[in-house]
Amino acid sequence: MPSTAKLTTPENAPGPADLAVAEVMTRVGDRVRRARERKGIPRRVLSDMSGVSPRYLAQLEAGEGNISIGLLQRVSIALDHRIEWFLAEDDPWSSEALRVADLYRGASDDVRAAVMKALDPGPAQVMRARRLCLVGLRGAGKSTLGRLAGQSLGLPFVELNDEIEAQSGMPVDEVMALYGPEGYRKLEAQALARIVASHDKMILAVAGGIVAEADTYASLLAHFHTIWVKTSPDEHMARVRAQGDERPMAGNPEAMEQLRSILTSREAHYEKAQAVLDTSGKPVDRSLAELLQLIQDHRFLV
């Protein structure tokens, strides 16, 4: 029986360019798959995060995709990698870079700070540009004061959660329900990176739990002048309830004690901010005046 296999002849044999393209696609596919597996992201979830179909992702990971730069950028953002990482000829999995990254993740805050200082590409003032970020627990006044300060200083005000919702196409509560805390933190890191890339001057307010992801918080501290907006536990709770949110207390008699515990556990992280604004027992206009004075005294926007 005659064979139906396609014969490779000098006329149809792949040329150097074809082989180079095939090599790139194989390399990209392998790195996408391994990056996804390291992060524990199912292909379906990566599809939702990147907007690239599961079928196409399967082809890509098999080295059979013919991915465009735009689609690869989407996948890169979803996996929290730079696009060059997938294309580089050197294998990042066998290089010292991966080992350094693993050591950094497991290092203490002091060691991380020393590493960041040694690898800092430029003066902190230059890296932070005229970007200002308000950190702290919900109810301290970040959103109100950030918006008013932006109006007073002629700067755009952005809430990081709004950026996450715009990216995901759904409210933050739904993001948490669908992807869980880990998925939310990934979107949070991506949103922060986009804001840094697109804004040289602004005021940003972030969710209080951003300190839970050390790498994201380190990036925030490196690229923003930061102010910890704080208040007492009682006022935190009262302000959240005044906004119409009864969830902290609903069916939870230990909510106040839990809030105090969260504050205590996060204080060391919030204290890494360059300045502190205590809004306890103060009207909004007084807190705003103190915030503007802090910005001026620390020359954050010079």
What does the pLDDT read at residue 194?
93
Q: Are residues 86 and 113 in the same domain?
A: no
Q: Are residues 69 and 127 in the same domain?
A: no
Q: Is residue 21 part of a domain?
A: yes
Domain end among 45, 62, 95: 95
Q: Are residues 141 and 183 in the same domain?
A: yes
Q: Are residues 115 and 69 in the same domain?
A: no
- C-alpha 180/C-alpha 199 separation (Å) is 28
Q: Is residue 6 part of a domain?
A: no
290 exposure class (CB count in 10 Å sphere: 0-12, 13-18, 19+) = middle
- C-alpha 28/C-alpha 52 separation (Å) is 15
Q: Are residues 208 and 136 in the same domain?
A: yes
First to last CA, the chain: 82
> How many domains are there within the chain?
2
Q: Are residues 47 and 114 in the same domain?
A: no
Q: Are residues 53 and 86 in the same domain?
A: yes
pTM (predicted TM-score): 0.58
Range of the domain at 72: 16-95
CATH code at position 43? 1.10.260.40
Tens-place pLDDT, residues 107-161: 888 888 888 777 765 666 778 989 999 999 988 899 999 999 999 999 999 999 9
- C-alpha 137/C-alpha 135 separation (Å) is 7
Q: Is residue 2 part of a domain?
A: no
Domain end among 67, 95, 123: 95
Banded pLDDT at 90 (limits 50, 70, 90): low
